[in-house]
Amino acid sequence: MSVTPVQNASVPGETDTDQTKRRPRVVILGGGFGGLNAAIALRRAPVDVTVIDQRNYHLFQPLLYQVATAGLSPAQIAMPIRRILSRQSNATVLMDKAEAVDTAARCIVTGSRRIPYDYLVVATGARHTYFGNDAWAEHALGLKTITDATAIRARILSAFERAEVTDDPRLRQKLLTFVVVGGGPTGVELAGAIAELSRRTIVHDFRRIDSSSTQVVLVEAGERILPAMPPCLSSKAQRQLERLGVEVVLGNAVASCDDSGVRLADGTEIGSACILWAAGVMASRAAKWIGAPADRAGRVIVDERLNPPGHSEVFVIGDTASVTGADGRPVPGVAPAAKQMGRYAARAILDDMAGRQSAPFNYRDYGNLATIGRKAAVADFGKARLSGYAAWLVWNFAHLWFLVGFRNRLVVFLDWSVAYARNDRAARLITGHYGA
């Protein structure tokens, strides 16, 4: 068995740091949009990059709701991190789970080993949170990983299957009621997709139930959906959802979730066997690891160079970071922001190696998109605002465009076009141990 060492041969650096013998080691925790863009931006740099992720794939998260609603297959939006970095000879990918960071010794601690770094990029993302009610997790499924998505897909499809089998009208009604908690983009996309699935895609598939009588309820605690959008687009999105048959409940939080369904703060009870949770995110444990202050969502509070206090060799980026933009507004937890931070961290590392002072991070907001269903979306580009079919075309084009690097962009496009044209969803499989 031939084993080549992690440490690449020493290459004369183009830098004037004191590390002339050894190339600086950059460890990147997390292979999402932020971490991957940092790694790629270092592809020609005289550094050794190690990307550590507990999963083997990079995920195109904006389309994850499509996997959860059977429109796309996992492999169409996920790609092995090591395949993406296959030809980047200064990059090593390790599938491993960070347990701690020893900032004094500059080491990542995993279950089996210690991995030293000179620069550390923390891009470990966020998970959904139940605001302290972790017991809700088994009833209200969240959507962050491929495994989450296939579990949701199985839960949704099993509800229809069980409704077709049962003779009990009350159980049937409960099985045909879907509750989506949280009116952000993910909640809106999920609710719209479930409504379309039940009213269009599978409407001829059942004999004993009428799938078009399915109830989809979107529950939002705030006073409008898509709070990051201007109010006029929020109400347009709401009307588009209602046209698809989604019932939108505003200003009402979830008081509890259990086997029987959801109880809202005002006492309303909604019987449901399929509750989806798109209400809140909590950053990974990075703040604890590096002993840095965190905001309420657990995100590390970093300065304008994305460093936590006292560690100019550590960069915290993406959904793990709480960053205030030059305009005084918080940088949103979206893919374009994570990508920009990843590239910024790479440049800042090169600046530091060259002894230069980096300019502060400056977030460029290119706009905001949310899709509601087949041929409906809302888009906010500052001055220009779109809704309906035009917004959907922009959304569609943007998402296919940003599947860059996914070799199957064309295949996804073809697959998806055929499915849209035929009102079909190809990936309607109940797999895993979730079957009724």
Residues annotated as part of the active site: 189
Who's near 157: CB < 8 A, 6+ residues apart? 70, 428, 429, 430
In the bound complex, what is the minimum distance in angstroms from residue 110's beta carbon to a copy of itself?
8
Nearer to a copy of itself, 163 or 246 (CB): 163
In the bound complex, what is the minimum distance in angstroms from residue 421's beta carbon to a copy of itself?
11
| Count of residues of this chain found to bind a copy of itself when the rule CB under 8 A is applied | 72
CB atoms near residue 374 (< 10 Å): 17
User: Cα dist. 358→97, 126, 350 in Å?
Assistant: 31, 27, 9
Run of H or E including 100:
strand 98-102
Who's near 142: CB < 8 A, 6+ residues apart? 127, 128, 148, 276, 277, 278
Q: Which of 161, 247, 313, 351 binds a copy of itself (CB under 8 A)?
A: 161
Q: Does 26 bind a copy of itself (CB under 8 A)?
A: no
Which two three-digit tokens encode residue 185?
């983009």
Stretch that binds a copy of itself, among 159-167, 312-320, 337-345, 357-365 (CB under 8 A): 159-167
Among residue numbers 276 through 315, which ones bind a copy of itself (CB under 8 A)? none
At residue 192's C-alpha, the angle toward residues 337 and 60, to 5°, is 35
* Residue carrying structure tokens 């705030």: 222
Which two three-digit tokens encode residue 400?
């296919």
User: Which residues on neighbouring strands pair with residue 25, listed in sequence order?
Assistant: 48
Among residue numbers 84 through 123, which ones bind a copy of itself (CB under 8 A)? 86-87, 91-96, 110, 112-113
Q: Which of 38, 120, 176, 290 binds a copy of itself (CB under 8 A)?
A: 176
Q: Which of 63, 98, 157, 376 binds a copy of itself (CB under 8 A)?
A: 157
Q: What are the respective helix, strand and coil percentages of the chain, to the nearest 5?
A: 35, 25, 45
Q: What track of x and - describes contact with a copy of itself for positions 208 through 247 (by CB under 8 A)?
A: xxx--x----------------------------------
Is residue 29 classed as helix, strand or coil in its secondary structure?
strand
Q: Does 11 bind a copy of itself (CB under 8 A)?
A: no
The conformation of residue 31, written as its DSSP 8-state character, comes to -
Q: Does 271 bind a copy of itself (CB under 8 A)?
A: no
Q: Does 265 bind a copy of itself (CB under 8 A)?
A: no
Q: Does 329 bind a copy of itself (CB under 8 A)?
A: no
Amino acid at 378: V
Q: What track of x and - describes contact with a copy of itself for positions 48 through 67 (by CB under 8 A)?
A: ------xxxx----------
Phi, psi dihedral angles at 117 (to 5 degrees): -140, 155
Q: Does 137 bind a copy of itself (CB under 8 A)?
A: no
Q: Does 427 bind a copy of itself (CB under 8 A)?
A: yes
Among residue numbers 402 through 421, which ones bind a copy of itself (CB under 8 A)? 407-408, 411, 414-415, 418
